[in-house]
Structure 1
């Protein structure tokens, strides 16, 4: 699969050479709001399948209520405690990205692997931040009113990268992978982030390197294979949740006043709110 992901990635980078920055951001938003959001829209069905010993109907409504409450709590945290919520979002998402990337390459599910997954995902985030410092600074200011010093990005990236290299050596017996190839993937991510605006670069990584592999794993977990039939069943069962997620995002955006400067902060707040319960669901599946 990763060979295909590389081909898609460089195809999108080639396409972006014909686009204006506005066009890149527009395409990035489309990818995030379709495939990106869709990959987390079937969490209720995943939870019900995990809890197969109970009534599907009762479990579905119970988990739906739980899910909605967590999303609302995440949104409230971003409103009342934006700085803490942003740091929590980055931390949880870093773990989630790393967990997905290494899901089939951990020999065991020891606590050590969670630490490794976190620092891998954090390195991805910091690569994105380092190559798009002004855009990141603007988003953080609009979200939290705190202006991140530009001088922070490189030391944070080098620190995270250094810890990741040390952990790779220490935990090498827990990993089954080609380390040279993994280094090549990091180089690819660096090329993506250094040659694209924030939204487009994030979209390529989030959708191509995270959402599609996650969808692949979810299809196998739910239906036993990846086929036209299983993809159709997945879309059918998740469509209503995806629709209301997008409707909620649009509602918040227009409620705020359709200020273009608030588009990115609202988008990342929205992704954070739906990420919190999604990470819990995927983590339960990974434990099986």
Structure 2
């Protein structure tokens, strides 16, 4: 895979994001829907969702470094929450929330650590983030990766063995955790991220959403699910294409890599808020 050019890797990454990554957030408006949802509540939902996207776009323009940190923190929590969404412990449990944060932190920092030279080059090529290398150094990244990984293993042991009483689940999660890091070590960074985000994370969430809607609706099948996914998936893809064309045409000083990051981040913020509410709703059901 190392022989693949950057452009080829980027095309594969975007293809997987468009095919699976974006669709996994395309039914956010349905997940929290009540049986008799009125027009007013729909307007409130879209105002909230689009408002968060708009505010985050402005934040990226005015405070790029702050926005990058926010994106990392949101991603840490969201990835960890989706991984352990089925664990039967109250979502407000502090140990569970810490597990979400450190599991996601280990996953993302592991990807950076295993491909530091390549990934930091993406930051250096974009003037908005060229000072990142002074903060994200190999030394600081190594210790964050090591610390978050160790804490993750201890929290998984505490929650899965002591609280849930499932050694089998603990061993399964340890295996998954190690295999993901092995994949990050052996696969080029863009493809490693795409395979994790699109195939592991997004497919899992899509499956959870499909099973949930199948329980709530009569005669609900895969065809109905795809129809539910299509409208907002297509809208997002068209929006992404317009963004790419606009930045290319006006020759803004930002790399395709960071353009992809910003696009994903502005969708991730409202999506993660919705998913957090949905997971809490599921625990109460």
**What is the deviation of 1:54?**
3.6
**What is the deviation of 1:169?**
4.0
Partner of 2:132, secondary structure, is coil
For residues 217 and 166 of structure 1, what CA distance do their matches in structure 2 show? 26
Most deviating of 156-165 and 30-39: 156-165
Matched, 1:191 2:182: yes
**What is the deviation of 1:133?**
0.9
For residues 276 and 244 of structure 2, what CA distance do their matches in structure 1 show? 30
Deviation string 1:83-110 (CA, Å, 9 cap, x unpaired) is 1111111111111111111111243322
For residues 44 and 18 of structure 1, what CA distance do their matches in structure 2 show? 41
Q: Which residue of 2 aligns with 1:37?
A: 22
TM-score, scaled to structure 2: 0.85
Structure 2, unmatched stretches of 5+, are none
| C-alpha spacing 1:237/1:135, structure 2 compared with 1 (3 Å) | same
For residues 193 and 98 of structure 2, what CA distance do their matches in structure 1 show? 23
| C-alpha spacing 1:86/1:98, structure 2 compared with 1 (3 Å) | same
**RMSD, matched Cα:** 2.6
Structure 1, unmatched stretches of 5+, are 1-15
For residues 10 and 44 of structure 2, what CA distance do their matches in structure 1 show? 37
Q: Which residue of 2 aligns with 1:280?
A: 273
**What is the deviation of 1:225?**
8.4
TM-score, scaled to structure 1: 0.84
Matched, 1:97 2:85: no
Q: Is the 8 A contact 2:16 2:194 kept in 1?
A: yes
Matched, 1:174 2:156: no
Matched, 1:79 2:61: yes
Q: Is the 8 A contact 1:96 1:279 kept in 2?
A: yes
Residue pairs, 1:225-236, within 5 angstroms = 230-236=221-227
Matched, 1:26 2:11: yes
